[in-house]
Amino acid sequence: MAPQEVDRILESVAAIHDVIEAEDYVAVRTVKEDPRALLSDHASANVACSECHGPIKGEPVKVRLDGHYHCLCCRSCERLYLEKYAALKARSSGVAPRGKAPPPRTR
């Protein structure tokens, strides 16, 4: 094999490698920048899960309860939160129908 030919082969391999790296880079950039773009769309920069209070990565799971939106990080948190909310509501419905009970007066 002539040395120039080896050079050409190495060059084309390097070119393929470059392309793969460039595609990798674009993929990483897209994944990293998507949530940021999503967050900047919303007014609040930090959306935390209502169930586990962890940061929500990517698309939050939104549930609407009594006219309020709650953001959950995943489906299992959504289920847990809904269960908790239902239990809370069932318990509080007899005590405080309006949801927000006034603070108890001690004197």
Which window, 14-22, 23-31, 42-50, 85-93, contacts Zn ion (CB under 5 A)?
42-50
Dihedrals phi, psi of 74, to nearest 5 degrees: -155, 175
* Rounded Cα–Cα distance for residues 63 and 65 (Å): 6
What is the nearest approach in angstroms of Zn ion to the Cβ of residue 37?
A: 22
Is the Cβ of residue 79 or residue 92 nearer to Zn ion in the bound state?
Answer: 79
Query: Would you count residue 51 as binding Zn ion (CB under 5 A)?
Result: yes
* Rounded Cα–Cα distance for residues 99 and 95 (Å): 9
Considering only residues 73 through 92, tell me which ones interact with Zn ion, judged by CB under 5 A: 73-74, 77
Strands (E), 4-80: 61-65, 68-72
Q: Which residues are 70's β-sheet partners?
A: 63
| Contact indicator for 61, 53 with CB cutoff of 8 Å | no
Is the Cβ of residue 48 or residue 92 nearer to Zn ion in the bound state?
Answer: 48
What is the nearest approach in angstroms of Zn ion to the Cβ of residue 68?
A: 17
The correct pick among 49, 60, 70, 71 for binding Zn ion (CB under 5 A) is: 49
Q: Which chain residues interact with Zn ion by CB under 5 A?
A: 49, 51-52, 73-74, 77
